[in-house]
Amino acid sequence: MTDAQALPGPLAGLRILELADEKGQFCGKLLGDLGADVVKIEPPGGERTRHVGPFLDDIPHPERSLSFWYYNTSKRGITLDLQTADGRRLFARLAATADVILETFRPGFLASLGLDYEPLRKQNDRLIMCSLTPFGQTGPWRDYLSSDLLHMAAGGQMASCGYDEADVPNAAPIAPGGGNAWHMGGHFAYIAIMAALVHRTVAGQGQYIDASIHEACALTTESAIASYIYRGEVLRRQTGRHHAAGPTPRTQFRAKDGSYVCALVAGWLNPKFVKDLADLLDSYGMAGDLKDPKYQDPAVIAANISHIIDDLVANFIASLPAEEVYHAAQQRGFTWGAVRAPEALLEDAHLHDRGFWKQVEHKELGRSFIYPGEAAIFNGSPWRISRRAPLIGEHNIEVLHEELGLSRGELAVLAENHVI
Amino acid sequence: MSRLRALENIRVVDFSWVRAGPWATRWLGALGAEIIKIEWPENERGRLPSTTTPRNLEVNLNTSGNFNDTNVNKKSLSLNVRTAKGLEIVRRLIAVSDIVIENFSSRVLQNWGLGYQALCEIKPDIVYVSMSGYGHTGRNHQYTTFGPVAQAVSGLTYLSGLPGEPPAGWGWSYMDDTGGMYGAMCALTGLYHRNMTGQGQHIDQAQMVSAVPLNGPALLDFTVNGRGSRRAGFPPGNRAHWPGTPLVNNYRGPTVAPHNAYRTHPGEYNDWCVIVCHADEEWQRLVQVMGAPSWANAEKFATVAGRLRHQQELDEHIEAWSMTLGKYELTERCQAAGVRALPVQSAEDRVEHDPQLRHRRMYLPMPHPALELHKVQNAPFELSETPASNHLPSPLIGQHTREIVEGLLCYSHEEFRAGFADGTFWPTKRARFPYMEEMLQ
């Protein structure tokens, strides 16, 4: 594994230009963490996503946004004002050297600057350009405004998430947090870009990709669409478990420490499962009557589902810390888990075994911070964070002077005129 | 539609089942790869049990609607890989393939003698993607997941809900969908790398692990600032901030108000709209859309700080207005004025009422030999030169066994028939579907 870590990432050699706010920065991070040279192009003064908290030590500053830090690892950063003629000319020169442009401007914006795909392709026919926008480049909602919450509403996430009436009467549908609409869009955009790159290895030509976050979200509710198309069902929200056409038994139980356990029981209640469950509960002296041989009869099980779930399993979990239930159950083959707050993951031994947490150096602060690492381990070309997020214009000299060949004098003029 | 596809001439051996793996290969198929799904009716998981079989059809291995939507663009080879003969056929298939994808528990393929080293002997540049619950390394590699468990253990479930209430969680297996995304992403990344370098590799993707990076800002708030998520006012429901609790960012973009779901006319189960104002100008536009009511002119609502402080009252006023409009009408009025608003949409809403998805041809009907004509979900992106498309309905179980065994692997028809007789291609004691009898002719 140490050897593999020294290898270049799978996307080494690719040059990506990223013109992205919250909608596309995660896709750019994926490309960068997987080895591509991602050059993030920000307006002079920095992308507005730098103003999203939380901030380092709660001091708001465009170089201290933890959200920006997280979503912009493994990128270099330059500043460029595309609204100026000089900025446009420089961008066109950069585009001539790029493999992929990832942009999240409102539809038509780049075309209004003469920087849409067609003119850029004329000077670089291997160029791939992905426009990742809320609704795509066409259609009646094309110019609608959005946000994470808006996408989770229209995409169908909220219609599936919420509470049992008994738990929270009249509850609104709930949008899970964390900015996952942008993740859903970013995953699909990554797939589309990679497909175009694979195709280019064979065909030699680039292409244009019109990706829609709304559609990505609308695709991400598991079987909800099929339940409607094939059964006409509209599903109901339930506390901490799957949406369903009719009520299903609970799967989320409060543990002794006040946190919860996700324990899947109802759909699995056959005699073998009940015997294993009795053994698990019995190892803590909590089996109650479950070891009675009568529970090897499926009819008896069926008649006692509520007793097994709401009495025996609920009492068992209520008597122990959530983490202990999780591990004891998994070690006996139960697909159960503790409902953890994110920070609990820092203590997860399994993630440590996988080398998941990464120290990322912030040299200008003289400090390193722990970041979450890779979703998968590649044994021949590692997925890894190569650097912290760029400071504003950090690589202007490296990219524009050393690589693109502008003189230092030209750079100074561009800075004086707020082009960079 | 004879256009070139992005993954033309790429062949994928797909051992995956249930949802995450099949969702991954569905998209590789839509992009043009030939997906050969290896199945065995005795331990099939994904076709049965089915809760999405149309009411007028018998529930059997070929009538699950959800299976159909999850497995378009694939071929099915029914094969008992737990026999020497079955394993030999798998080896011959892998020898002419580019990618192997499986989502078994961590040691299954190794136990069949098909670990990565063994695969390399068959096909040196194979891209082997394993999609397990916890990965192939790490002390808990033998633990198992379903979507809800991966979501719970990774911290995702905790981010959803109202403060002081149990987690609302995710009402579906988000990490089956998303695990599928990572499976497809890894396969494509490995394939690109192979095309550039000639080297294959093993990619150990894990559902529980893939979920953790989706909590990035929350994790950094802890590792950098020492602030955990177990705190007053978190998670803040649909709001960016819960009134009366310390003012901190809750990892959903800017901290603003209004930022909530509001009931709409006529107040049925899914009659809700969300409204968000990112700036004072957006708030002022919303005030105009609401008809400039006198309450909205109060000084306390003029600034974002004031709106956050008086959020409860603000939300009650907005909901009194939103209840007078249907959710689509409210959306159109707001958006026409430059206000962020969209309806909460059920599956029915998305398929029947969403004008954008209709315009973008998201759900197009596709015939299926057992299910007849039903809408199937399309790709959320358009590639100008190599568009993704649904070109095959989901396969009937074993539908392509003869085509693959005789056509691709060059076994004789006699050998194919012998494989049916000895239980390699179908359990000898199990009734065959009519299309299998035809194959044997």
Which CATH number does the domain housing residue B303 bear?
3.30.1540.10
CATH 1.10.10.10 fits A2-220+352-416, yes or no: no
Residue B30 shares a structural domain with residue B95: yes
Residue A3, pLDDT > 80, answer no
Nearest to B144 among A56, A171, A335 (CB): A335
Nearest to B351 among A167, A215, A229 (CB): A229
**Chain-chain contact of B248 with A54 (C-beta, under 8 angstroms):** yes
Phi and psi torsions of A260, nearest 5°? -115, 160
- Residue B197 and residue B284 share a domain: no
* CB < 8 Å to A385, chain B: none
How far is A242 from chain B, CA to nearest CA, in Å?
Answer: 4
Query: What is the model's pLDDT at position B105?
Result: 84
Asked if residue B4 is part of any domain, the answer here is no
Q: Domain for residue B426, yes or no?
A: yes
Residues B86 and B139 in one domain: yes
The answer to whether residue A2 scores a pLDDT higher than 80 is: no
Question: Does residue B35 sit in the same domain as residue B123?
Answer: yes
Note the pLDDT of residue B107: 85
Question: Quick one: pLDDT at residue A4?
Answer: 64
Residues in CB range of A138: below 8 A, 6 or more apart: A107, A210, B359, B360
B220 touches chain A (CB under 8 A): yes
Residue B351 placed within a domain: no
Which residues in chain B come in under a pLDDT of 70? 1-2
Does B339 lie in the same domain as B247? yes
| Residue B338 shares a structural domain with residue B241 | yes
List beta partners, residue A362: A367
Find the residue in A nearest to B31 (Cα). A195
Q: Looking at CA atoms only, how far is residue A10 from chain B in angstroms?
A: 5
- Which residues does A163 contact at the CB level (< 8 Å), separation at least 6? A171, A174, A237, A238, A239, B162, B165, B168
For residues A177-194, average pLDDT: 98
Domain count, chain B: 2
Q: Is B338 on the interface with A (CB under 8 A)?
A: yes
> Within this chain, do residues B19 and B136 fall inside the same structural domain, yes or no?
yes
Does residue B372 sit at the A interface (CB-CB below 8 Å)? no
Are B339 and B367 part of one and the same domain? no
**If pLDDT is split at 50, 70 and 90, which confidence band does A291 have?**
very high
Is B357 close to A215, i.e. CB distance below 8 A?
yes
ipTM of the complex: 0.98
Q: pTM here?
A: 0.98
pLDDT digits 0-9 by tens, A67-78: 999 999 999 999
Active-site amino acid positions of B: 176
Q: What is the pLDDT of residue B106?
A: 79
Q: Which of B282, B309, B343 is the last residue of a domain?
A: B343
Position B33 scores a pLDDT of 98
Chain A CA closest to residue B4: A199
Interface test with A, best of B12, B98, B251, B259 (most A CBs within 10 A): B251
- Is B231 a domain residue? no
CA distance A154 to chain B (A): 5
**How do beta strands B372-377 and B363-368 pair?**
antiparallel
In this predicted structure, the answer to whether residue A1 has a pLDDT above a threshold of 50 is no
**Is residue B15 in a domain?**
yes
Nearest to B386 among A148, A199, A234 (CB): A199
Same domain, B333 and B372: no
**Are B293 and B411 within one domain?**
no
A79 and chain B in contact, CB less than 8 A: no
pLDDT the model gives residue B358: 98
**Mean per-residue pLDDT for A398-403?**
97
Q: Do A10 and B253 touch (CB under 8 A)?
A: no
- Print the domain residue range for B177: 11-212+360-440
Nearest Cβ partner for A342 among B9, B192, B229 = B229
Decide if B147 touches A, using CB distance below 8 A.
yes
Residue type, B406: E
Beta strands in B80-155 (DSSP E): 99-102, 127-132
Q: In degrees to the nearest 10, what's the CA dihedral of B115, B117, B120, B126?
A: 50
Nearest to B177 by CA among B61, B69, B39: B69
Mutation for testing the A interface, residue in B154, B192, B390 having most A CBs under 10 Å: B192
Same domain for B243 and B129:
no
User: Are residues B200 and B89 both part of a single domain?
Assistant: yes
